[in-house]
Chain A
Amino acid sequence: MAALNVSGLKKRYGDSEVVAGLSFAVEPGTCFGLLGPNGAGKTTTLRLCLGLTAPDAGDITLAGRSIPADAQVARAKVGVVPQFDNLDPDFTCAENLLVFGRYFGLKDADVRQRIPSLLEFASLTSKADARIATLSGGMKRRLTLARALVADPDIVFLDEPTTGLDPQARHLIWERLKKLKSAGKTLILTTHFMDEAERLCDRLIVIDHGRKIAEGSPRELIAAHIEPQVVEVFDEAAGTLPAFVDAHRQLADQVEQSGETAFFYCRDPQPLLAALAGADGLRYVHRASNLEDVFIKLTGRELRD
């Protein structure tokens, strides 16, 4: 049985259909990614799955319970790391965990027993009695993750868990999330960091305007939507890039230009690299194509606000 099953989900606010007929399933013990540009409907989808708002149409089953009817029962098996930290500023780290455990109906003695290992998991052992205001952004995120684990959930929802963190803090979170997955937890993650999704997710869907526009493992998506190699060419001096693109367009399977950069998507980049070796005023990067290339191909380059 799927940890989370969503079918035909719809939600409308006023004139805009924020979720427009979404279906997906998350297998237990896997990490599932919900990707999409800002305003694609990711957070609304999570709220619907947690029973925090009622859908206009569709069915949701979470941890074997029907949502929203049995949402409170289902949430006993679920931990949530929200997009914006909402730790309790009046409490210490340890008190935050204790108070949160009570919301799950846990006994104080049981939570107190779990607190040291939760703090250790979050690398916050030395901060047990520290006030929230004294924590860095990364520490707060880690405490929020520990808080989500207070009732030993089967499923953990993470809404943009590393937004606003420095690289060190992000890597630590990723490492912890991998640990959770190997401990058998189901992770459901929204992000717009494609490297994060590529590292963590077994399967993912890309949504835009409330609709699913792609689904698969990161590798499948890259293989299905884009050539395996990318050469990014930058204009260093002025003006030689357009002429170069016109002259060498046929060396790539696809070429895309964005400002001062041209993206050549190729199966065999060697002829293009040879041509670039002799080109003046151009810099280039040759790399394997990644999920970000797929994402931009699917959702376009225009800004989303």
Chain B
Amino acid sequence: MPMAAEDIVQLIKAGIPDAEVEIHDLAGDGDHYAATVISPAFAGKSKIQQHQMVYGALGGRMGGVLHALKLTTMAQRP
């Protein structure tokens, strides 16, 4: 079952309050997304921990209703 891009962005921002989120619908099917999440909350955390924070914000939807989310995380803009 697809998920709207707007919902994904809102969930991430709710879970990581100061996050900037950019999202692209890769296949145009509402099921394959790429997201870049930038938040100072990631500073000093490993990539695994950063991605886990985003998955946490998505509250179990990742791997369920949300099939594919290509994730890039960073603490600040490069």
> A and B: partners?
no
Interface residues of B (CB under 8 A from A): none
Taking Cβ atoms with an 8 Å cutoff, the residues of A that contact B are none
